[in-house]
Structure 1
Amino acid sequence: MASGVGVNDDCQAKFLEMKLGHKYRYVIYRLSADNKEIVVDKTGSMDSTYDDFIGDLSEHECRWAVYDFDHKLDEDSRIRKLIFISWCPDGARIKSKMIFTSSTDTLRRTLNGIGLQIAATEWSEIFFEAVLDKAQRGSRY
């Protein structure tokens, strides 16, 4: 279901700065106040941690994010993927959830090069260990 919501040009620009220029560890997106377009909400510098990222999400507001996941497994291997996260917590308002859910594909289609997609409604689904497990399996969730 398409929502008719547009994607602000800055969304893709920040994504490309992250993907190609390695300027950001993460970019968080949200709906504009009038629910007509998707805009950049926050960015995290390359020095930001996964805990910083989680701290920038709310248990009452839906957000999309792309996280540059880079984790060393052992001496010889590491996981590096751009992870698209749809964060739609149970505590968000129903109307917001409906618009958010119907707009996810609109944003996702503008961001080329995503290695993993995760839809989450609870913190446990995006805790570091859960995301690491999904990234290691390489599956879509």
Structure 2
Amino acid sequence: MTSGVNVAKEVADLYDDIKFKKTLKVAFFRISDDKKSIIVDTENQVKWNQEDPYSTFVKMLPEDDCRYIVFDVSYVTNDSGDKTQLVFISWAPESAPISRKMVHASSKSYIKKELELSNEWSLTDKAEAGDWKDLACKLKGAVIVEGRQV
């Protein structure tokens, strides 16, 4: 099933800023109200200088709507030291309307392809997000993630 949703140019522009200029730590994207585009969720962004960006990100997850999120995760490995990696997060809470979850699910491949992201974490409730160690499992060899010992 395809949704016919396109990815707005502003999404790629913001992603480039995150990846190359390190302007944001976490960026949220959403389906537009007319369900025709994936757009930047301008109300929800986390800057690099934000204290405890992980907890801030979790608090920003909407209770009843879906989001695509790019998190520039900082971590440490024993082999190569400090690293960062962009992780794609799909947020589709159980309480979101079925129609929103269906469009979200059928559009996910479009944004992942546009941003060329493969490392994905899918979340359906804040309890899953609260266990940041699941995120650590996505990062090969991570011993510290966002300042937390694994």
State the TM bucket, normalised to the shorter chain: 0.7 to 0.9
User: Which of 64, 78, 84 lines up with 1:80 in the alignment?
Assistant: 84
SS in 1 for 2:68: strand
Report how far residue 130 of structure 1 moved.
1.6
Report how far residue 70 of structure 1 moved.
0.3
Q: TM-score, normalised by structure 1?
A: 0.87
Query: In the alignment, is residue 89 of structure 1 matched against residue 93 of structure 2?
Result: yes
User: Which of 57, 72, 75 lines up with 1:71 in the alignment?
Assistant: 75
Query: In the alignment, is residue 135 of structure 1 matched against residue 143 of structure 2?
Result: no
**CA-to-partner distance for each residue in 1:51-98, whole Å, 9 max, x for gaps?**
111111112110000000002356962442100000011111000001
1:79–1:123 distance in 2 versus 1, CA, 3 Å: farther
Residue 112 of structure 2 is matched in structure 1 by 108
Unaligned runs of 5+ in 1: none
Amino acid at match of 2:71: Y
User: Which of 128, 136, 148 lines up with 1:125 in the alignment?
Assistant: 128
- How many residues end up aligned between the 2 structures? 137
Amino acid at match of 1:7: V
Kindly, what percent of the aligned residue pairs are identical? 27
**CA-to-partner distance for each residue in 1:12-32, whole Å, 9 max, x for gaps?**
000000001111101100011
Query: In the alignment, is residue 15 of structure 1 matched against residue 15 of structure 2?
Result: yes
Residue 48 of structure 2 is matched in structure 1 by 46
- Structure 1 residue ranges, 4+ long, deviating more than 4 angstroms after superposition: 73-76
Q: TM-score, normalised by structure 2?
A: 0.82
